[in-house]
Amino acid sequence: MTLVMDRPEIAPQPATEDEKTTGGLVIFAWSGELDKIWPTLILANTAAALGKPVTVFFTFWGLFPLVKNDRGITGDGWMQKMLSFMNRGGLKNMKLSKMNFMGMGPSMMKTLAKRYSVSSPQDLLDTAKEMGVKLIPCQMTMDLMGLTKDDLIDGLEEPAGAATALAVAEGATTLFI
């Protein structure tokens, strides 16, 4: 039996050697909370230090830490605008998943981190870029939440979809955080 495809150009293409992360680490960063994005960045940096190729795919709430800190209200229409007001983007505006205490929790956590010389999420994000960690924003989330490339920080990969993320994840250790 011969299968004829009408549009061969839309057939899923296998990931190229350059795109694959065989033996590496792929993290799906779904949560935008400080206490989840922090270990995500620690693991990404550590894996990169171990010489592994590392990709972090930022989706849903996970995209908000990549918004520029001073971005304010984003999106079109009242729903997206309200979303960005209720869930402020930017790494420095992230909340804790527990003991947030209306923002006191994160600032106490950052004070403790400084006291015990634990690197801040911002330092870890900068280091991750230096270490060649690929940071991919999810295109679908950007559309849904009303975020444009201009709303996001520099140094990211081109926005992509789930197929890219899964293709990259082939042969890699994957985490969903």
Partner 1 sequence: MTITIARTLDVKGLSCPIPIVKTAQAMKQLVAGDVIEVLATDPGSVKDFAAWSKATRNPLIESSQEGGVFRFVLQKKG
Query: Which CB atom, from 16 or from 117, has the smaller least distance to partner 1?
Result: 117
Taking CB under 8 A as the rule, which mask of x and - marks residues 14-43 in contact with partner 1? Answer: ----------------------------x-
Measured distance CA(98)–CA(139) in Å, rounded: 29
The residue to which tokens 């994000």 are assigned: 125
Query: HSE (CB half, 13 Å, CA atoms) of 1?
Result: 2
Query: Which CB atom, from 39 or from 90, has the smaller least distance to partner 1?
Result: 39
Residues 62-121 that bind partner 1 (CB under 8 A): 116-119
Measured distance CA(149)–CA(67) in Å, rounded: 9
Name which position in 13, 22, 46, 107 contacts partner 1 (CB under 8 A): 46
Query: Which CB atom, from 41 or from 96, has the smaller least distance to partner 1?
Result: 41
Identity of the residue numbered 30? W
For residues 137 and 152, is the Cβ–Cβ distance under 8 A? Answer: yes
| Interacting residue ranges for partner 1, rule: CB under 8 A | 42, 45-46, 48-51, 116-119, 127, 130-131
